[in-house]
Chains A and B, each alone.
Chain A
Amino acid sequence: MTTKATYMYAITRPVLPGELNGLRGVSGAPVRMIEDGDVACLVSTVDLAEFGEEALPNNLEDLGWLERTARQHDEVVQAGARITTTMPLRLATICTDDNSAQERLHRFGGRALAVLADLDGREEWGVKVLASPDRSAPGVPVGDDISGTAYLLRRRQQLARSDNAAVAASRDADAVYSRLAEHAVAGRRHRPQDRRLTGAAQPMVLNAAFLVERTRVGQFRSVVAELMSERPPESITLTGPWAPYSFAAMEET
């Protein structure tokens, strides 16, 4: 019964072995490269006691473990992206052994090369937009002097206003997205983050990722700066550059 497995971080073009010197992955294990023709995969050896089918679901529930593993995974992906074009794999993509990882790589090789070509010279930027505060929404007054009918009328108006605000926020998100998409090669909308996680007073209306030509990043950022200047402070956040996580999707068929 084997106790080890092969953790896969990213698919890249083959790199010189020396370029990975000193690079450590999850659990501090050294990162290696598995090659198959024109493509390669960055991997390291992991313990099934930590990454096996039984242990993994529990570990994913442990925030400390999840954060540590996510950051170690990202460090390897970023290191790969500094050397060559890199297609990140999802967190905790694990094969039984190096042979199994190589078979997988072989099966994906052709399509992976096509995706790598699409990612050459490009990087990912994230843009998050919070809804603008609704200034025209007084609460329904509560008092003895208001009749049931008047209360219902006001309550109905208030609900209509909040519907309008939701429509406006969604339109605003679409507008920001379209404007930035003009300066990007591709865009993708992630699910807006839960307000309990952002800690912000306003809900998030846009959580987008854009794939931007490195040579056009300055222009992209200028447009973000313009959008920032047009709306309340802190309602737009720019993150990046990221490895192209949001644009490496390649489902197995």
Chain B
Amino acid sequence: MTAVAEKSAATPATSLVDLLDRLLGAGVVLSGDVTISLAGVDLVTVKLRALVMSVREAQP
């Protein structure tokens, strides 16, 4: 069986989405005095809004 030809992210925007899935939706959560990682839901909303705007702007 040959190795899968890996599809490196179609566009920079999509690979950023993959990265943010992990950076915002997963990972260890440490909360505490001034741990500023916001609630996951808030960040996801932020991310979608920012990314959707950028995708729209990129379209002709």
Verify if B60 is at the interface (C-beta below 8 Å from A). no
20 further A-B contacts with Cβ under 8 Å, apart from A60-B38, A61-B50, A249-B28, are: A5-B34, A57-B46, A61-B46, A61-B49, A66-B46, A89-B27, A90-B23, A90-B26, A90-B27, A92-B36, A95-B33, A191-B44, A199-B55, A222-B1, A222-B4, A225-B1, A237-B7, A237-B10, A239-B6, A249-B29
Assess whether B22 is in contact with A209, with CB atoms less than 8 Å apart.
yes
Assess whether B46 is in contact with A93, with CB atoms less than 8 Å apart.
no
Which of A70, A238, A249 is close to B19, meaning CB atoms less than 8 Å apart? A70
B residues whose Cβ falls under 8 Å from a Cβ of A = 1-4, 6-7, 9-11, 13-38, 40, 43-44, 46-56
Verify if A151 is at the interface (C-beta below 8 Å from B). no
List of B residues within 8 angstroms of A88 by Cβ: 22-23, 26-28
10 A-B Cβ contacts within 8 A? A60-B46, A60-B50, A61-B49, A63-B53, A88-B23, A90-B24, A197-B13, A197-B48, A221-B4, A239-B18
List of B residues within 8 angstroms of A239 by Cβ: 6, 9, 15, 18
Number of A-B contacts (CB under 8 A): 169
* In the bound complex, CA of A104 to CA of B27 (Å): 16
Assess whether B51 is in contact with A197, with CB atoms less than 8 Å apart.
yes
Assess whether A248 is in contact with B2, with CB atoms less than 8 Å apart.
no
Assess whether B4 is in contact with A228, with CB atoms less than 8 Å apart.
yes
List of A residues within 8 angstroms of B23 by Cβ: 70, 73-74, 88, 90-91, 245
Chain B nearest CB, measured from A92 CB (Å): 5
* In the bound complex, CA of A67 to CA of B11 (Å): 13
Knowing A53-B36, A197-B13, the reply to whether A66 touches B50 (Cβ < 8 A) is yes
Knowing A71-B19, A197-B13, the reply to whether A90 touches B3 (Cβ < 8 A) is no
* In the bound complex, CA of A224 to CA of B19 (Å): 20
Chain B nearest CB, measured from A149 CB (Å): 41
